[in-house]
């Protein structure tokens, strides 16, 4: 299971959690891996966090759900509170320093504390904060080459928004370069 | 054809289309709404009909109507909506009318929640409707199986002239996975399915020429002995369905303990079994793919080899009864329940399986 990887991506509704989850799964599939993507609906849909789980493996995936993820992408404070305690030992968390208090980070965790909102804003739109975070995750985990994700954008981002792809690629690269 | 990354629900819709479904009737309910969403766009384009009915009761009776004309038709809903359809399902069985029903079940009882649950097992496999009605029941665990099983569902519905249910849950309905769309060359398609209905479907008396005899599809048999004869026919049909029994087994050959689990919990249990194998535990997995007919023979055979069983299901104890019946007189089966509505990972099943192994 050398290429096994899983990640829980969490944030407010509207931060693009599902989009980068889909994008990662699509890229993994195009890279020849088996993948699962599952949005978890529940009480957290209203007001709290939206989250999804992506699993990638070179073998057929059994469970699409993970209790103790090998990695997380945390885009807001409530998500850190929910998922930091669940992070597997030795796992890595990508944490949005623009919205999450540094004091909330557990020092023993491997953490990439990155201002994805501010970086996205400087690149043209705060809406691309999710892509910056995904770029950082790609570098921190080495799970997929960033090119795979870049290429997959054309299948995941609709034709209507295709003009935004170059900017999103820049955001992805900025996150990758930060780590 | 390359893989596409789609939800289990979308795979159901594409599978139905590719298998030859011509009519969809349904009423919206979470967590299965992607099925009508996709079919509402694509079925009319393919020359079929999509109707959003006024209720689940209407939906199943529309399926009954289309099926009585020999047309491949389906509906989909979730738990409480499926409860409303039970009368229609019983009439379809009683009248020998084919149709496909998808239940992407939700937590129950009552309105429950929209999380994963296997609480509809009894309703699905024990008939659900009144009388000795049975549906053939298929349980997908992956988005690919959602797609492939729609071919099987329509084939079996027309082969046995009976309702076929595809029983999933919120996990398999909402999961996105690579799915290979490949209409098999040997699938009958709409025309092939309708051809099988040529000698019984209602198509207009006059159209079959002057020597045609009237056809009547009904479930009421009031004359003395008539209902007995009808039920004997149904009994033979349910017996014949045993030929369709299907299971997916992993690592059972040298296993001391065989985990029995279906659908989404089946695949999660599969991960747990793989992790325990890596620890050296002699465990395997038997995942029933057909829930009715139930894989009694496969379980019996394993029981005779001295294996013991642990049933894991997301309800308060339903399939365990069928497993115990299957292995009665040879072995017993332990049980571990996951509460409906919970999203669990493989780690939640490791200790229950270790405990069952220790108790052998």
Q: How far is it, in rounded angstroms, from Cα B78 to Cα B112?
A: 11
> What backbone torsions phi and psi does residue A114 show, to the nearest 5 degrees?
-135, 130
B5 and A65: CB-CB below 8 Å? no
Kindly state the average pLDDT of the residues B174-178.
97
> What backbone torsions phi and psi does residue B205 show, to the nearest 5 degrees?
-55, -50
pLDDT digits (tens, 9 = 90+) for B213-237: 889 999 999 999 999 999 999 999 9
B171 and A62: CB-CB below 8 Å? no
pLDDT digits (tens, 9 = 90+) for B183-201: 777 788 999 999 999 999 9
Split into its structural domains, chain A has a count of 1
Q: How far is it, in rounded angstroms, from Cα A135 to Cα B97?
A: 55
Please name the residue of chain A whose CA is at the shortest distance from the CA of residue B273.
A62
Is residue B70 predicted with pLDDT exceeding 90? yes
Which residue range forms the structural domain that includes residue A118? 5-178
Choosing among A26, A63, A149, A157, which should be mutated to test the B contact, i.e. which has the most B CBs within 10 A? A63
Share of chain A above pLDDT 90, in %: 91
> What pLDDT is attached to residue B1?
43
Q: What CATH number corresponds to the domain at position A61?
A: 3.40.920.10
Which residue segments constitute the domains of chain B, with CATH numbers given? 4-196 (3.40.50.970), 246-358 (3.40.50.920)
Task: Report the residue count for chain B.
Answer: 360
Predicted structure pTM score: 0.95
Residues 123 through 162 of chain A touching chain B, CB cutoff 8 Å: none
> What pLDDT is attached to residue A47?
58
Is residue B212 predicted with pLDDT exceeding 90? no
B347 and A67: CB-CB below 8 Å? yes
- Mean pLDDT, chain A, whole residue set: 94
Does the beta carbon of A62 lie under 8 angstroms from any beta carbon of chain B? yes
pLDDT digits (tens, 9 = 90+) for B149-173: 999 999 999 999 999 999 999 999 9
Residue A76 CA from chain centroid, whole number = 12
Kindly state the average pLDDT of the residues B263-272.
98
Question: Which residues fall within 8 angstroms of residue B203, CB to CB, at 6 or more apart?
Answer: B69, B70
Q: How far is it, in rounded angstroms, from Cα A130 to Cα A20?
A: 7
pLDDT digits (tens, 9 = 90+) for B16-67: 999 999 999 999 999 999 999 999 999 999 999 999 999 999 999 999 999 9
Q: How confident is the model at residue B273 (pLDDT cuts 50, 70, 90)?
A: very high
ipTM: 0.92
Is residue B324 predicted with pLDDT exceeding 90? yes
Q: How far is it, in rounded angstroms, from Cα B110 to Cα A150?
A: 46
Q: How confident is the model at residue B210 (pLDDT cuts 50, 70, 90)?
A: confident
Q: How far is it, in rounded angstroms, from Cα A21 to Cα A7?
A: 9
Is residue A1 predicted with pLDDT exceeding 70? no
Q: How far is it, in rounded angstroms, from Cα B87 to Cα B102?
A: 16
- Find the CB nearest B343 among A34, A40, A62: A40
> What pLDDT is attached to residue B208?
79
Q: Which range is least confidently modeled, A45-59, A75-89, A151-165, B73-87?
A: A45-59
Choosing among A27, A31, A64, which should be mutated to test the B contact, i.e. which has the most B CBs within 10 A? A64
């Amino acid at each position: 299971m050398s290429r096994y990887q899983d990640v829980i991506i969490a944030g407010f509704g509207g931060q693009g959690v599902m989009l980068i989850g889909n994008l990662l799964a699509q890229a993994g599939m195009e890279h020849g891996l088996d993948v699962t993507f599952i949005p978890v609906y529940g009480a957290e849909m209203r007001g709290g966090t939206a989250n999804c789980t992506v699993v990638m493996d070179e073998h057929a995936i059994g469970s699409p759900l993970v209790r103790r993820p090998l990695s997380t992408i945390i885009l807001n404070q409530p998500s850190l509170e929910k998922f930091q305690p669940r992070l597997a030992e030795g796992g890595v968390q990508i944490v949005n320093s623009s919205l999450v208090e540094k004091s909330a980070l557990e020092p023993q965790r491997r953490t990439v504390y990155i201002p994805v909102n501010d970086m996205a804003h400087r690149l043209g739109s705060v809406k691309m904060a999710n892509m910056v975070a995904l770029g950082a995750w790609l570098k921190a985990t080495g799970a997929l080459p960033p090119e795979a994700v870049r290429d997959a954008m054309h299948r995941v981002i609709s034709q209507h928004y295709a003009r935004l792809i170059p900017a999103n690629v820049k955001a992805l690269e900025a996150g990758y370069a930060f780590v | 054809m390359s893989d596409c990354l789609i939800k289990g629900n979308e795979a159901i819709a594409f599978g139905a289309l590719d298998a030859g479904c011509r009519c969809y009737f349904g009423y919206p309910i979470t967590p299965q709404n992607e099925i009508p969403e996709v079919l509402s766009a694509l079925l009319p384009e393919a020359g079929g009909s999509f109707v959003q009915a006024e209720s689940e009761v209407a939906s199943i009776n529309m399926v009954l109507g289309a099926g009585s004309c020999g047309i491949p038709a389906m509906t989909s809903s979730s738990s409480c909506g499926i409860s409303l359809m039970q009368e229609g399902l019983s009439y379809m069985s009683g009248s020998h009318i084919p149709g496909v029903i998808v239940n992407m079940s939700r937590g129950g009882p009552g309105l429950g929640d929209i999380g994963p649950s296997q609480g509809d097992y009894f309703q699905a496999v024990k008939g659900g409707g009144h009388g000795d009605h049975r549906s053939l029941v298929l349980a997908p665990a992956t988005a690919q199986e959602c797609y492939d099983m729609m071919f099987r569902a329509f084939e079996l519905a027309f082969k046995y002239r009976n309702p076929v249910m595809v029983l999933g849950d919120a996990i398999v309905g909402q999961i996105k996975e690579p799915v290979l769309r490949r209409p098999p060359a040997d699938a009958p398609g709409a025309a092939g399915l309708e051809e099988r209905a040529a000698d019984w479907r209602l198509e207009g008396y006059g159209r079959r020429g002057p020597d045609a005899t009237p056809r009547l599809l009904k479930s009421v048999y009031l004359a003395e002995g008539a209902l007995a004869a009808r039920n004997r026919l149904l009994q033979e049909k349910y017996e014949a369905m045993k030929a369709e029994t299907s299971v997916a087994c992993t690592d059972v050959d040298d296993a001391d303990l065989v985990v029995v689990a279906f659908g989404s919990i089946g695949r999660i249990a599969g991960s747990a079994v793989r992790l325990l194998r890596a620890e050296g535990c002699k465990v395997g997995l038997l995942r029933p793919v057909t829930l009715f007919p139930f894989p009694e023979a496969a379980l019996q055979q394993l029981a005779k080899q001295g294996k013991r069983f642990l049933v894991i299901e997301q309800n308060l104890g339903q399939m365990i009864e069928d497993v115990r019946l299957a292995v009665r007189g040879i072995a017993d089966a332990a049980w571990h329940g996951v509460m409906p509505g919970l999203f669990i990972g493989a780690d939640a099943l490791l200790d229950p399986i270790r405990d069952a192994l220790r108790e052998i």
